[in-house]
Structure 1
Amino acid sequence: MSDLPETAPPLALPDPPAGVDGSSTTPETVDNVAVARLYGEPLFTLPQDLYIPPDALEVFLEAFQGPLDLLLYLIRKQNFNILDIPLAEVTRQYLSYVEQIRRHNLELASEYLLMAAMLIEIKSRMLLPPKKSDDGAEPEDPRAELVRRLLEYEQMKQAAMRLDQLPVLGRDFLRAQIHIEQSLAPRLPEVSVDDLRAAWADLMRRAKLHQHHKISREQLSVREYMSHLLRRLQGQKFVEFEDLFELDRGPQVLVVSFIAMLELSRERLVEITQAEAFAPIYVRLTYEAVARA
């Protein structure tokens, strides 16, 4: 049939044009450009004994997705009633298409041949007298199963087409991206317990380097060092954590000073802060402490 998609016949390269005396007019070189390459080596002339098989260059256009697609195309193309398929005409057209693809691609034609055998079987069953069932009911139309498969396939094909028509991100539209700069007051990160412990461990390590071999007993008061720290912070905006400790007075004084700082922080008289992660730790008086002073 002229309506059916056909496979293109095998293509062959044309012979080089001949001159008046029958000799080839193909130039050996065209501006020193090779006419072909064989295993990476340039060829400046075509071999005289070049043989191109008939199926060397072939273009095959597979217009259908399978046997059901072809059968549905034949039925809808000629406006046949899918519930009353004229199997003789449809089978003839179907076999004509299968014969075309069988000559070029036998492996692809195997799927279509199976459907052709089913059509022939259904047609033969329709030619035989109907066999009544045991309960006396009307026998089922041999085309019923084929019609059911065709209707289901058509529904799935139409659903796939509707899905393909929906807009797809990256194909039909792009997601809008807008960068908005907000001028917010910087929020300083809170000093975690681990940061405070690491700073304290570093102080203890440095204090051991200033130990004196002098044994003495000293009465140390936490309250006294609390007052000392408050006086040290008075009038200062920020004081670095390490500057509040006297490393040369030994670990005992450091421990008391640290406890005094923790006590002041618990009473909300001092504030321990940090500009950013892994930055130096600073201590300052709170607004309540300034108000009391």
Structure 2
Amino acid sequence: MSDESPPTGGPLPPPVLEAQPNVVDTVAVARLYGEPLFAMPQDLYIPPDALEVFLEAFEGPLDLLLYLIRKQNFNILDIPLADVTRQYLAYVDQIRKSNLELASEYLLMAAMLIEIKSRMLLPPKKSADGHEPEDPRAELVRRLIEYEQMKLAAFKLDALPVLGRDFLRAQVTIEQSLKPRFPDVSIDELREAWADILKRAKLNQHHKISREQLSVREHMSIVLRRLQGKRFVEFEELFDVTRGAPVLVVTFIAMLELARERLLEITQAEAFAPIYVRLAYSPS
């Protein structure tokens, strides 16, 4: 104890504060600006709309109106406008507090409901032709039925499997054989090649009138001689375009006869590739 003591009745000296021990972060309920918070503040301000919860989300006024009708099992052809309008306005009052721009669309439908209810309270007036007036709710009912049909159709379309969302396209790699397979020469390709040769022959023809005896057998021998000792000969090289169209025709017929008798083969490496002619292979 110290000998020096404060005078009686005088103010006491301030207590000595010991340094707080380091507290593990898991004990703190939160951290505010990097500092641990060990108790909830009593003056915490929470905005009114901070914990706002929407239980239902509607895509428009018709969607909300259809929801109210179907939820209470009302007959859509005989809508009790008083009850539906009262519930509709209650929902509109809720969204007006948070989103006035969104509520404007719903207010237009609310005004339409009130206008239809007002027309129903008035005594009906017959038309000039004596027919009964149309129910004021008829137009609204038609719009609700059409909207419900489109909504059901959208649900059915969304339920269909979608590539990338519900399934993926399977891919299978098939190794093709290294041996090339030569395509068969079709009649159309031969006709086109023959037409091209005729077109070029007309550019080189001479205006000479003469009668020439042409033999198919003779030209068959000529074609065989030209193919003798050669592996392949291009289709166009077998025609002598300088001798005119008659010789070309006989040469072409000779080639067809040789192909029919299996004395020569007409091949093509791939589609639209040059056509080649060779002697048919005969095993020894």
Q: TM-score, normalised by structure 1?
A: 0.49
Cα drift, residue 168 of structure 1: 2.7
State the partner residue of 1:64: 58
Amino acid at match of 1:172: D
Cα deviation, 1:44-101, whole Å, max 9, x if unaligned, reads xxxxxxxxxx799898968111111101111122222222222122112211222222
Whether 2:185 is the aligned partner of 1:174: answer: no
Distance 2:182 2:150 in 1: 59
* Alignment correspondent of 1:161: 155
**Within 1, Cα distance between the matches of 2:76 and 2:157?**
25
The farther-off stretch of 267-276 and 102-111 is: 267-276
| 2:93 aligned with 1:86 | no
State whether structure 2 residue 20 is matched by structure 1 residue 26.
Answer: no
The sequence identity of aligned pairs, in percent, is 68
Match of 1:140 in 2: 134
RMSD of equivalent CA atoms: 4.9
What amino acid is the match of 1:145? E
Q: Which residue identity lines up with residue 86 of structure 1 in the other structure?
A: P
Structure 1 residues 148 and 265: alpha-carbon distance in aligned structure 2, compared to 1, 3 A threshold: closer
Report the Cα distance in structure 2 between the residues aligned to 1:140 and 1:227, rounded to whole angstroms. 94
Residue 67 of structure 2 corresponds to 73
Secondary structure, counterpart of 1:140 in structure 2: coil
1:110 match:
104
Write the deviation string for residues 230-286 of structure 1: whole angstroms up to 9, x where unpaired: 6645xxxxx4769xxxxxxxxxxxx9xxx9xx8996755555756568999987532
Match of 1:127? Answer: 121
Q: Report the alpha carbon displacement of residue 157 of structure 1 after superposing the two structures with TM.
A: 1.4
Q: Tell whether the 8 Å contact from 1:98 to 1:112 is kept in structure 2 after alignment.
A: yes
> Does the 8 Å contact 1:102/1:109 carry over to 2?
yes
Q: Secondary structure at the match of 2:59?
A: coil
Which residue of 2 is the match for residue 286 of structure 1? 280
**1:88–1:277 distance in 2 versus 1, CA, 3 Å:** closer
| Matched residue count | 198
Question: Which 5+ residue runs of structure 2 have no aligned equivalent?
Answer: 1-30, 36-46, 198-218, 235-241, 243-247
Aligned partner of 2:181 among 165, 187, 193: 187
What is the Cα deviation at residue 159 of structure 1? Answer: 2.1
Q: 1:265 to 1:118 in 2, by over 3 A?
A: same
Instruction: Give the structure-2-normalised TM-score.
Output: 0.50
Partner of 2:208: none
For residue 115 of structure 1, report the CA deviation from its aligned partner. 0.7
**1:104, distance to aligned residue in structure 2 (A):** 2.8
Distance in 1 between residues matched to 2:125 and 2:72, nearest whole Å: 31
Structure 1 SS opposite 2:165: coil
User: What displacement does 1:151 show?
Assistant: 1.9
Structure 2 counterpart of 1:64, which letter?
F
**Equivalent of 1:96, from 78, 85, 90?**
90
Amino acid at match of 2:33: T
For residues 96 and 131 of structure 1, what CA distance do their matches in structure 2 show? 33
Query: Which runs of no fewer than 5 residues in structure 1 stay unpaired?
Result: 1-23, 29-53, 198-221, 234-238, 243-254
Offset at residue 229 of structure 1 (A): 5.4
